[in-house]
Structure 1
Amino acid sequence: MKDAMAHWLKFGVFGIQVSGVESFTDSTLLSDWKNVTSQYSGDDDARVLIAATSEITPQRIFSLLNMTEGADLLTSQYLLGLDVDSPERKSGDEIARMIKNYISAAGNRSLSWSVGGPQVGHMASLVGERLLRLYHVLLFTLPGTPFVDYGDEIGLEDLPKLPGQPASFNMTRMQWNNQHNFGFSESSQNADSASNVTVQSQDGDKTSVLALFRALSDLRGKERSLLHGEFVSLGSDQPDVCAYLRRWDQNERFLVLLNFGDTESAVSLTPPKAADLLTEAAVVLSTDPQRGEGQLSLRQLKLGASEGLLLRFPYVA
């Protein structure tokens, strides 16, 4: 295992992810492997070791933290929280409850979030095209580290699953362009095909999944409230809507509204304290490409079906 890790680290990969850590019986393995990644780390060039588990309950996930302390992060499928072979629709209330429970159980420990991966499949195949953009907004605005799989940034879906096959057998190769084999390699295993789910087709399209992904990634990297901010859950009179606030010191506040329903919702928010919200906020981005920019009244908010909306407003002493 150490030789395999060193092989890829020499190629310049920035990290190694190890799955199934809940089945490990030797607690020293991850520490040994962390020593390997550390050998290839520099001051501005860190190499990370990620531990991944298929556990979905906070208690089981956090019980692994002592065993996985040699790793830089522990990631799970907690947000999925359902049988992927018979998915059930989750409401905004349920998602909000799951998030609050997880943050509460974590305490001061590092958080990470993901929906999809080699063991379960790509995000678009799990949550559907209707909710894909909304889940991207969710992952990039929660406290902690967001994890996405290759192709999630363009809405890549998996091949149809055959009975008895693991998800990893059905994961589609990355689709860069519409050339032979989608520009992934010179292999002839994939036929030539036209697709709008490629980097090339979405690059420059302001309404694409890729454009939304890039905007969220850019905000996440430079806004302190999104990077370090406190998570404040907001009550809503609509069960399909999950709403929360991110705030840090005297920096701009970010308000996140996610409509998991398939119909439009008129939302009335209930902040913990009246001072938590102003009367209006500016639109930063929306999963609906048709929504314009400008200020919105927080007393008369309307969310489209499956819309994720990110708003900002200034700190007021």
Structure 2
Amino acid sequence: MKVAGTAGYDVCLSDLFIRLSVCLSLCPSVYLFIRLSVCPSVCLSVRPSVCLRCKPIPEMNWWNEGPLYQISDVNEFSENGLKGVEEKLDYINQMKVKGLVLGPIHTVQADQSSTLELTSINPEFGSESQLISLLDRAHRKGISIVLDVTPNYEGVSAWFNNAASVAERLKEACVYWLNKGVDGIFLSHLNDIANTEAWPSVQGIFNKTDGTKKRALMGSVTGLSADDASHLLNQSSVDLLLTELPDPAEPGIRQAQVVQILYVDHLQTSLGWSLSGRTLGSLASRTPAAPIRLYQMLLFTLPGTPVFNAGDEVGLKAGEKVEAMWDLESQADDDNATAKTVQEERTAVRDFFKALSDLKGKERSLLHGEYISLHSSPTSLAFLRLWDQSERFLVALNWGNDSVTMTLTYSDLPAEARVRASTDTENLAVDSKVSVEKLELGPKQAVLLSYAFPG
């Protein structure tokens, strides 16, 4: 590499197709000449228009690289239990899922702590050898497995109203399953166990490292305010916390405040966003007043990790069996118009989910970019995700019954932006350009826009 006007030095580039991800901090007046080793006769002359300095990529772990997928009841997900989950890994992989949150699958009788065996798999779900087989195949596909070991998952109190009494068995189980190859442990009602004297020793199990990929300690809470959830996250220091926030029943102004509280106080690598699960039910049932695609977009674009329950990707409602997902692979009877319509709608919802998941996994602004609130009202919300010189993403949602015009202002907003995903393809078609300054959005609609770094 020769730089005009400076002492020359040579660098060989062995591959013409190397992506130039390293920014050049050169002055605009400097010319850069590169002789490529793949073709010695070719020189590249570049005159940089601006001085560029790339921000260092923040430290991320596997659970920050895409969505997580909860399978709370493995028998409901598949007739073959753990073996059936393994058989569905190709399907899960198509959803661009980075990890499964599995179970609980251990042995316990409801509300009887004396029957708790956290290191023993309930035969109704399968065997330890089947779990090991699932782990092996999932890892070969790049999918991590987190095991939910919430003790009394079939009883009234998740921790038998006395978390300290099962703390030693919990620690033994964490060590046991991590040694078997699981990539993390999940605990619901985290505040119950995190407030015990045993918690630091549970944490200590996950602080140990042997140079391999990080093992995650994850948890969830229910019924806490944003401030209380923030306090628990600080206190517990878990790697990922699901808070059941923002509450879709609250006004958009409050939802924006909740996101801001959690985002400002914590690294987004520890923020998990989920509106469904074992106790909450499906996403479609939790948000019946708006199309499920609107909330899929919200969860995929908030700063942190989106977590979905099995069936959320096709919009299953309460009482509907997960097997309905597998029916999408077979042709609906042409004589049954209702079944055909349902199949087409669920397929469209799944395709929308897959498109968002793909963007989440490859766009830096969505993966770890800044979150900037642009607009909030009782029924609508808009925010920006941006990272350094990467493509910017603008998210706008309207779950109200009336159309809304959002007046959006930010220093680098262009006049127009490109539609990347939309619930209103008639008025906001994918790849079309729309006005950003006064963005019009129909009732119960959402749109994801992008524009280039203005520099």
Q: Name 1:225's counterpart in structure 2.
A: 365
**TM-score of the superposition, structure 1-length normalised?**
0.74
Q: Name 2:292's counterpart in structure 1.
A: 132
Q: For 1:93-242, what aligned pairs fall within 5 Å after superposition?
A: 93-106=253-266, 110-128=270-288, 130-159=290-319, 172-178=321-327, 205=347, 208-235=348-375, 239-242=378-381
Q: Distance in 2 between matches of 1:294 and 1:2?
A: 53
Q: For 1:286-305, what aligned pairs fall within 5 Å after superposition?
A: 286-290=422-426, 291-292=428-429, 293-305=431-443
Q: Name 2:239's counterpart in structure 1.
A: 72
Q: Distance in 2 between matches of 1:52 and 1:285?
A: 29
Tell me if structure 2 keeps the 8 A contact 1:90–1:260: no
Deviations 1:127-176 (A, max 9, x none): 116231111111101111111111000001112xxxxxxxxxxx844533
Q: Name 1:57's counterpart in structure 2.
A: 225
Q: Does 1:251 align with 2:396?
A: no
Cα drift, residue 300 of structure 1: 3.9
Tell me if structure 2 keeps the 8 A contact 1:38–1:47: no
Q: 1:14 aligns with which of 140, 145, 148?
A: 145
Cα drift, residue 74 of structure 1: 1.6
Identify if the C-alpha distance between structure 1 residues 108 and 137 changes in structure 2 by more than 3 Å, giving closer, same or farther: closer
Which stretch shifts more, 144-153 or 30-39?
30-39
Cα drift, residue 195 of structure 1: 7.9
Q: Distance in 2 between matches of 1:223 and 1:279?
A: 22
Cα drift, residue 227 of structure 1: 0.5
Gapped regions of structure 1 (runs ≥ 5): 82-88, 160-170, 183-192
Aligned length, in residue pairs: 275
Tell me if structure 1 keeps the 8 A contact 2:268–2:368: no
**TM-score of the superposition, structure 2-length normalised?**
0.53
Q: Name 1:314's counterpart in structure 2.
A: 452
Identify if the C-alpha distance between structure 1 residues 176 and 72 changes in structure 2 by more than 3 Å, giving closer, same or farther: same
Deviations 1:242-294 (A, max 9, x none): 111111010011011111211222222133xxx23111101111012433231
Q: Secondary structure in 1 aligned to 2:326?
A: coil
Tell me if structure 2 keeps the 8 A contact 1:27–1:68: no
Identify if the C-alpha distance between structure 1 residues 115 and 315 changes in structure 2 by more than 3 Å, giving closer, same or farther: same
- Percent sequence identity over aligned pairs: 33
Gapped regions of structure 2 (runs ≥ 5): 1-116, 122-126, 136-143, 148-185, 331-337
Letter in 2 for 1:298: V
Q: Secondary structure in 1 aligned to 2:233?
A: coil
Cα drift, residue 101 of structure 1: 2.3
Tell me if structure 1 keeps the 8 A contact 2:375–2:406: no
Q: Secondary structure in 2 aligned to 1:176?
A: helix
Q: Name 2:405's counterpart in structure 1.
A: 266
Cα drift, residue 20 of structure 1: 1.3
Tell me if structure 2 keeps the 8 A contact 1:156–1:197: no
Q: Distance in 2 between matches of 1:100 and 1:157?
A: 30
Q: Distance in 1 between matches of 2:400 and 2:389?
A: 34
Q: Distance in 2 between matches of 1:67 and 1:195?
A: 50
Identify if the C-alpha distance between structure 1 residues 155 and 116 changes in structure 2 by more than 3 Å, giving closer, same or farther: same
Tell me if structure 2 keeps the 8 A contact 1:113–1:144: yes
**Coordinate RMSD, CA, aligned:** 3.4
